[in-house]
Every structure is written in structure tokens, then in C-alpha cells.
Structure 1
Amino acid sequence: MTDPQRPNDTGDFVTDARLELSGMLRDGLDHPSTRPVLVWGALGAVAGAALPFVSVGLGLAAGAGYKFYKRVRPD
């Protein structure tokens, strides 16, 4: 069964991630995935600044990467 919220779900992670990223780049903040990914990236950066041995950049990448993955593969 296809999810109406995810019309481009092909079942292949790489293809789905590429389509999601191209949609985010094309639509900017109007895309439904852009804001949550940016928010989680900011939260990761704050956590990275607060934790020892973790940099802000690593925290940002981890937070944004996690949310992007959960947007592509929600289950």
C-alpha cells in the first residue's frame, strides 16, 4: 500500500533519499521536510556544543542526518 503523504516512495533508500533531497533543494522552506531537518540540525549543534569531545559541526550533521533519515524511512 502506498502512503499518500509519500508519493515517491520507491522502496529503495538511495532513490528515495535523492528524491527527498532534490525536493527540499527545489522547494526550500516550503517543502515539508526542510524545517524539521533544520530544527534537528540546530538541536544537534547545541548538544554538540554542550557535550565534551563532540563538536558543533558533528552535532549538526548528526541531528540533521537523523531527522532526514526518519523522513525518508519513518518506520
Structure 2
Amino acid sequence: MARQHPEEPTLVELTIEEVKAMGKEGIKHPSTRPVLTGGAIGAVAGALLPVVSWPVGLFAGAAIALYSRVKR
């Protein structure tokens, strides 16, 4: 595993900052729409799958979309 320099923000710190920025800017933030779309797709998938409920799918879809936005 690659070691980070102490001054580099961690993935958790980047994610928290992204969520804060999304909360402040609302739909104008560039990550808001992809995260909402990911949540909607996850909710539909969760509703269709018998093992997963739609709230779990919503959370998972939004989390995956947010992760892909922050990881860039």
C-alpha cells in the first residue's frame, strides 16, 4: 500500500469536504447530480432485487457515485 505524505488529505477527509460542498451549493455543485442519479439507480436496483431493499440500494448507489467523484 502506498504511503501518503502527512499533508495530503485522506479519502475520508476528501469525502467529507465534498459532502459539505454539496450541502452548501446544492444542485449547483458538480457532484450533486451524479450522486443523486447513483442513488436513484441503486434504489431501483434494490427494489428489484429480493435480497436488498430500496433504502440499502439508494445508499449504496449514492456511496458508489460519491466515491467515484472523490477518487478522481
TM-score range, shorter chain: 0.7 to 0.9
- Describe the SS at the equivalent of 1:66: helix
1:33 aligns with 2:31: yes
Query: Aligned to 1:63, which of 46, 61, 64?
Result: 61
**Coordinate RMSD, CA, aligned:** 1.0
Structure 2 residue runs without a partner (length 5+): 1-7
Query: Shift of the alpha carbon at 1:33?
Result: 0.2
State the TM-score, normalizing by the size of structure 1. Answer: 0.82
1:7-36 superposed Cα distances (whole Å, 9 cap, x missing partner): xxx441121111101100000000000000
State the structure with bigger RCO (CA 8 A, min sep 6), 1 or 2: 2
1:16 aligns with 2:14: yes
Runs of 4+ in 1 over 4 A off after TM superposition: none
CA distance in 2, matches of 1:40, 1:50: 15
Structure 1 residue runs without a partner (length 5+): 1-9
CA distance in 1, matches of 2:15, 2:59: 16
Count of aligned residue pairs for this structure pair: 65
Query: Shift of the alpha carbon at 1:45?
Result: 0.3
- Describe the SS at the equivalent of 2:52: coil
